[in-house]
Amino acid sequence: MKILVTGGAGFIGSAVIRHLVSDTGHAVVNVDKLTYAGNLASLGAAIESERYAFEQVDICDADALRGVFERHQPDAVMHLAAESHVDRSIHGPADFIQTNLVGTGVLLEAARAYFESLSGTRREGFRFHHVSTDEVYGDLDGPEGLFTEQTPYAPSSPYSASKAGSDHLVRAWHRTFGLPVLVTNCSNNYGPYHFPEKLIPLMILNARAGKPLPVYGDGSQVRDWLYVEDHARALVTVIESGRVGETYNIGGHNEHRNLEVVERICALLEELAPRHPEGVTRYADLITYVKDRPGHDVRYAIDAGKVERELGWRPRETFESGLRKTVQWYLDNHAWIEGVTSGTYRDWTAKQYGKHG
């Protein structure tokens, strides 16, 4: 297939493209606006492949999108382009509404017009795969229970509300217009090339710099962690073999409290980077508790049984193996880190965490 990937320079999108180019025979068209979190360096060797093409396009630009479809004639769309950080959505929800809702609507219309121009086997094989999040389900009540594909939506933040809305748009275009869609909702991703405002890379980089490790509230919030390369394999499996109109939840079977994650990172750094920054005796001494963010959900956890039973996907990495690989990657890739930690990013972290950023 030739697969059009929106947001392919982002964290998950770049992992998908690396997997498509290195492990499959599919061709890729990367459509990315290249905002602060988009980085073509995250694509690695994939960018040199003859099966890779890049279009710097905003998904809100209908004319530009039509041109992309006409030029490249894709067999499928994997839609990952999104504003994705909860904290940023609290400071500036308008960007999330524009990209996640309006942009998805514009992309759906471009895909629908293109799909309706197809015929025969090309029309029968076309797929629109929308990649979403478990945060649309809201907060799990207590330590038991899991999100399933039937869990009612109850988003808590502007980010999760905008993603919930985009999910509804995708399903409406399937029901009303017959667009052949697939939807996936994933748990928290982590791994190489993750923009450093997110929990795991932020903690690694702050610790190595001898800066405080800001933990919201008491750090008791629970998340299910999914190694990004496992997620990339799952997404490609769904677009290759998933049933049209179905939703698949993708999780890592790794529930951990945020404080526990930070403590594990500190322990790995003691082993892998035992030479501490000046003035630091133990990395764990840098842990600092900051005011909890508004509307902070307490627990997410995914039941990934459907994608495992129907499509045969399972995560390869445990949290222990994946976290070790992630910490080591950040220790080994200073050039990539320096390329994304611009002055703008530093200003934002100072705003978000105050003097603890």
- Band (pLDDT 50/70/90 cuts) for residue 342 is low
Q: Which residues have a catalytic role annotated? A: 134-135, 159
Q: How far is CA 257 from the centre of its chain?
A: 19
CATH number at residue 57: 3.40.50.720
Give the DSSP H or E segment for 326: helix 319-332
Neighbouring-strand partners of residue 54: 30
Tell me which residue of 30, 181, 28 sits closest to 104, measured CA to CA: 181
Q: Quick one: what percent of the chain has pLDDT higher than 90?
A: 83
Q: Is the dihedral of CA 99, 154, 302, 202 positive or negative?
A: positive
CA distance 299 to 188: 11
Average pLDDT, whole number, for the chain? 93
Residue 276, number of CB atoms within 10 A of its CB? 17
Query: So what's the pLDDT on residue 355?
Result: 45
**How would you write 258-276 as a 3-class SS string?**
HHHHHHHHHHHHHHHCCCC
Q: pTM for the full model?
A: 0.93
Confirm whether 106 is domain-assigned: yes
3-state SS of 138-203 is CCCCCCCCCECCCCCCCCCCHHHHHHHHHHHHHHHHHHHHCCCEEEEEECEEECCCCCCCCHHHHH
Work out the burial of residue 332: count CB atoms within 10 Å of its CB; fewer than 13 is exposed, 13-18 middle, 19 or more buried.
exposed
Q: For residues 357 and 346, what is the distance between their CA atoms, to the nearest angstrom? A: 8
Non-local CB neighbours of 174 within 8 Å, separated by 6+ positions: 180, 181, 244, 245
In order of 136, 225, 299, 344, the CA distances from 187 in angstroms are 11, 6, 11, 28
How far is residue 194's CA from residue 10's CA, in Å, rounded to a whole number? 8
Query: What is residue 357's predicted lDDT score, i.e. its pLDDT?
Result: 44
Does residue 46 belong to any structural domain of this protein? yes
Mind listing the pLDDT tens digit for each residue in 50-80? 999 999 999 999 999 999 999 999 999 999 9
Query: Is the residue at 197 inside a domain?
Result: no
* Rounded Cα–Cα distance for residues 112 and 1 (Å): 18
191-226, pLDDT tens digit by residue?
999 988 889 999 999 999 999 999 999 999 999 999
Q: Which domain holds residue 110?
A: 2-190+225-253+295-318
Share of the chain above pLDDT 70, in %: 96
| Domain-embedded: residue 275 | no
Q: Tell me: the pLDDT tens digits for 4-42?
A: 999 999 999 999 999 999 999 999 999 999 887 788 999
The answer to whether residue 63 sits within a structural domain is yes
Q: Is residue 268 part of a domain?
A: no
Is 49 within the bounds of a domain?
Answer: yes
Residues 293-321 pLDDT 10s: 787 888 999 999 999 999 999 999 999 99
pLDDT at site 356: 43
Query: Quick check: is 331 in a domain?
Result: no
Domain count, the chain: 1
